[in-house]
Amino acid sequence: MKRKTKPQKSTFKALALRLTFKVVGWLSLFIFLLASGYAIFLDRTITSTFEGRKWSVPAQIYAQPLELHPDLNLSESDLMTILKRLGYRPVDLLQGPGTFRSIDLGLEIHLRAFNFIDEARNSNKIRVSFSGDQLQSISSEGRSIPLIRLEPATIGSFFPSHGEDRIILSPEQVPKLLSEGLKSIEDKEFDMHQGVSLRGIFRAFLVNLQSGEVRQGGSTLTQQLVKSYYLTNRQTIERKLKEVAMALILEARFSKTDLLTAYINEIFLGQNGSRAIHGFGLGSYYYFNKPIVELNPSEIATLISIIRGPSYYNPFRHPERALKRRDFILERFHEDGLITKQQLDSSLNRNLGVSRSSSGIASYYPAFLDQVRQELASDYGPKDLNSIGLRIFTTLKTRSQETLQETVSRTLNDIEKQRGIPQGSLESAAIIADSQTGEILAMVGGRDAKVDGFNRAINAFRPIGSLIKPVIFLSAIESGMHLASVIEDSPITITPKFGEPWSPKNFDGEHRGELPLVRALGQSLNLATVRLGEEIGLVKIQQRYAELMNKPAKNKYHSFLLGAEALAPIEVLELYNNFASGGFQTPPKAVIAAVDSSNQLIDQRPFNIKNSIEFDAVNAINRGLEVVMTHGTGRNSPYSKLGIAGKTGTSNDNRDSWFAGFDNAHSWIIWVGRDDNQTTGLTGSSGALRIWNNLISRQGIEPLQHLSDEHLVEIEFLTGLVARPSCANTVSIPIAKKTTLPVKAGCGIKQRRYRTRYRE
């Protein structure tokens, strides 16, 4: 019988070895395929994302440009202030666009280039001379210029919800010192490596070890770009390996110019409130209030120094650190031949030069921007406004806006101190508009107008009180009455079909008997107004209101006649525009036009004007509103007799104080009240009108213009009787021809003579 032989150990080892090789082979193949697939996935993801990269470029919002022309009321110091707000710098000798200097009797200015809606203007030098507080002449290269525009101020932008903001630079717009300086400081081998530099990592390690601080980084510019584009800041081996792989792919797929330009536009340079400042284009404005092409070597070095740590090297909060880092970078610039020894010495002697008045990005006027956003909402979605680089040109005048903001805040403080009102409890909203077009020139949504919050100019709906009365008196005029028509100012009780009887009262609790309409309007007499409303009919009056406002009244009761109708200040402006424009509907307007990122005009907003009141009727009402100022509730204003039409308003229990007025050029709507709707103790005259008074003391008035052939009659303000100024307190009112009016006895005016005089 044969014996079974045992397999030798070498046979088992051979089998095990073959099996191991097979497993390792399959595992290696699997890992290779997995890695290849992941690499292909990364390649496609990175390539498609980078090629299709659309930075979230917010719409930039511009104010109206200041037009300079001879005889403009503008002093030399005023123009210097305006230029500084635009980021122009005073110098001894002009140093390129964005600089100006004082010369005999004026200024020499090197204007920046700018793409206006209607033309592209190249940079050029102009000379401006002054005579007192008036601009006298403008010239360029010895030639007289009748008119030239400064570039408009950037008043804000619609940055996206994730807070990124940037100004995109093309390769041609990047200063050579910036691009070469970045490579010198951040990545010396940028033009040679393929995305990762082992030598750079080792060199940075030695430099940082010798200096005892982080002076250089080991990551290439490409790796930094990958971190900014695709990755989080987590310090893990997995993230670092992914970063390296992505950097290699980017370098393989795109040119060095593409990568450097992307880095310049993407890198994070700080935080401005809720905004993340990305890229050197915006960083230049944020830190130095001027475009990147105007930066000197010191300022470029300061921006590059921030990259290493935007919080740690923040030049506003840590100037010593930033200065030390800047000087180190300047010395590196010189060592690498990027600047001369003279430039180095000059730059080292400079201070940081950072400016907090960053006009290129500052959202100074949030209330006005709310109005712009509302007007654009029907045509542009949030993504359009947040990301595609629109340029929006608006109606705002920065001088008017700044004056209005300061006046509102200062006057409220004064009122609170003088009347013992708790400090900070009063709030306000105010609007200045062009009286002929409805264009909004300034808008304030609260006493702290630069804080983005509740916009009372648009969203605070409050009873308007006596501001409604011109609508009632307009309806009377259109029904055949005139300003000398008599109405009874006496107690009245109205009993509706449903509800309690209503017995209104005059503000002072008195009643005055028979009086002319012009006095009832001028003194804002409630009893006379309600009786007039009853005579005309509430339905008819509210129908007229709906025609003027393009929307029906919300309050269907008789209290509407005394202003128990809640409107926002912007809606009050729409109502009063009908009177200020001479009888035309001119809806409030903030947007003029929009251009795309290629500077192509894509949206121009025409004036939407239509006739709403016949001339004779609006002329009578406007004359009556002038009497409000000269003889009525506005008479205590120091500017009441300078050609102003206006109306004060007060709601129940003195909760809301209003003033609406206009001259030949401007309309004003002002509201004062409390957010908790408690009483203020202020009437329209003691609250809102005071703000207007202080505003006019700084801005002036353009008196209302009247037709020279108007048929005006002098009547006694108290009675409506025809009289002479020598024998009575008279006002001038327009009266249609062939109208016969009673004459005041003792004034030497015969009825027959009067009738002959006012007859065709």
pLDDT tens, residue by residue, 460-472: 999 999 999 999 9
> Contact, 740 vs 715, CB < 8 A?
no
Interior CA angle at 557 toward 551 and 561, to 5°?
80
Range of the domain at 252: 159-348
Q: Label residue 651 by pLDDT band (50, 70, 90).
A: very high
Q: Would you give the DSSP letter of residue 4?
A: P
CB-based contacts of 605-609 (< 8 A; 24+ apart in sequence): 605/375, 607/437, 607/438, 609/437, 609/581, 609/584, 609/585
- Has residue 680 been placed in a domain? no
Same domain membership, residue 179 and residue 327: yes
pLDDT score for 649: 96
Give the type of residue at 308: R
Give the type of residue at 617: A
Q: What is the distance between the alpha carbons of residues 718 and 46, in angstroms, rounded to a whole number?
A: 83
Same domain membership, residue 111 and residue 189: no
pLDDT at 384 over 80: no
Q: Which of 551, 496, 492 is nearest to 526 (CA)?
A: 492
- Has residue 173 been placed in a domain? yes
pLDDT score for 754: 42
Residue with the two structure tokens 């409506």: 720
Q: Label residue 607 by pLDDT band (50, 70, 90).
A: confident
Q: What is the distance between the alpha carbons of residues 456 and 454, in angstroms, rounded to a whole number?
A: 6
Residue with the two structure tokens 């530099």: 197
pLDDT score for 254: 78
Q: Which residues contact 650 (CB under 8 A, 6 or more apart)?
A: 465, 466, 507, 656, 657, 658, 682, 683, 684
State the DSSP string of 112-129: PPEE-SS-EE--EEEEEE
Same domain membership, residue 163 and residue 142: no
Does an H or E element contain 692, and which? Answer: helix 688-699
- Has residue 452 been placed in a domain? no
- Has residue 275 been placed in a domain? yes
pLDDT score for 396: 96
Same domain membership, residue 82 and residue 194: no
- Which residue(s) pair with 63 in the sheet? none
Number of domains forming the structure of the chain: 4
Q: Label residue 753 by pLDDT band (50, 70, 90).
A: very low
Over the chain, what is the mean pLDDT? 86
Q: Label residue 250 by pLDDT band (50, 70, 90).
A: confident
Last residue of a domain, one of 564, 598, 627: 564
> Contact, 730 vs 724, CB < 8 A?
yes
Q: Which position among 76, 186, 375, 716 bears the catalytic label?
A: 186
Same domain membership, residue 171 and residue 75: no
> Contact, 181 vs 306, CB < 8 A?
no
- Tally Cβ neighbours within 10 Å of residue 697: 11
Same domain membership, residue 301 and residue 181: yes
- The CATH number covering residue 123 comes to 3.30.2060.10
Q: What is the distance between the alpha carbons of residues 74 and 92, in angstroms, rounded to a whole number?
A: 23
Q: What is the distance between the alpha carbons of residues 380 and 385, in angstroms, rounded to a whole number?
A: 7
pLDDT tens, residue by residue, 614-650: 999 999 999 999 999 999 999 999 999 999 999 999 9
> Contact, 220 vs 183, CB < 8 A?
no
Q: Label residue 514 by pLDDT band (50, 70, 90).
A: very high
pLDDT tens, residue by residue, 660-675: 999 999 999 999 999 9
Of 225 and 66, the one with more pLDDT:
66
pLDDT at 389 over 90: no
Region 372-400 average pLDDT:
81
Q: What is the distance between the alpha carbons of residues 745 and 750, in angstroms, rounded to a whole number?
A: 9
HEC string of 554-617 equals: CCCCHHHHHCCCEECHHHHHHHHHHHHCCCEECCCECEEEEECCCCCEEEECCCCCEECCCHHH
Q: How far is CA 329 from CA 108, 184, 201, 350, in A?
A: 34, 9, 19, 14
Q: How far is CA 645 from CA 120, 349, 624, 665, in A?
A: 41, 59, 8, 12
Region 433-454 average pLDDT:
89
- Which range (125-139, 196-210, 278-292) has the least confidence? 196-210
> Buried b / exposed e across 629-652, counting CB within 10 Å, b at 16+?
bbbbbbeebebbebbbbbbbbbbe
What are the φ/ψ torsions at residue 13 (nearest 5 degrees)? Answer: -65, -40
Same domain membership, residue 330 and residue 186: yes
pLDDT at 52 over 60: no
Same domain membership, residue 93 and residue 203: no
Q: Please confirm, yes or no, whether 266 is among the known catalytic residues.
A: no
Same domain membership, residue 178 and residue 88: no
Strand ranges across the sheet with 440-444: 440-444, 427-434, 666-673, 657-662, 645-650
Q: What is the distance between the alpha carbons of residues 649 and 651, in angstroms, rounded to a whole number?
A: 7
- Has residue 308 been placed in a domain? yes
Of 608 and 477, the one with more pLDDT:
477
pLDDT at 426 over 60: yes
Last residue of a domain, one of 299, 321, 348: 348
- Has residue 335 been placed in a domain? yes
Burial class from Cβ neighbours inside 10 Å (0-12, 13-18, 19+) for residue 57 reads buried
Q: Which position among 56, 466, 475, 637 bears the catalytic label?
A: 466
pLDDT score for 202: 58
- The CATH number covering residue 549 comes to 3.40.710.10
Q: Please confirm, yes or no, whether 581 is among the known catalytic residues.
A: no
Same domain membership, residue 221 and residue 144: no
> Contact, 365 vs 401, CB < 8 A?
yes
- The CATH number covering residue 250 comes to 1.10.3810.10
Q: Label residue 159 by pLDDT band (50, 70, 90).
A: low
Region 480-496 average pLDDT:
95
Same domain membership, residue 319 and residue 212: yes
pLDDT at 21 over 80: no
Q: What is the distance between the alpha carbons of residues 62 and 397, in angstroms, rounded to a whole number?
A: 10
Same domain membership, residue 486 and residue 342: no
Q: Which of 484, 547, 488 is nearest to 513 (CA)?
A: 488
- Has residue 753 been placed in a domain? yes
> Buried b / exposed e across 185-200, counting CB within 10 Å, b at 16+?
bbbbebeebebbbeeb
Q: Label residue 221 by pLDDT band (50, 70, 90).
A: confident
Q: Would you give the DSSP letter of residue 277?
A: E
What pTM value is reported for the model? 0.80
Region 325-346 average pLDDT:
94
Q: What is the distance between the alpha carbons of residues 125 and 96, in angstroms, rounded to a whole number?
A: 9
- Has residue 443 been placed in a domain? no
Last residue of a domain, one of 151, 184, 204: 151
Q: What is the distance between the alpha carbons of residues 318 and 307, in angstroms, rounded to a whole number?
A: 14
Give the type of residue at 87: G
Q: What is the distance between the alpha carbons of residues 65 and 79, in angstroms, rounded to a whole number?
A: 13
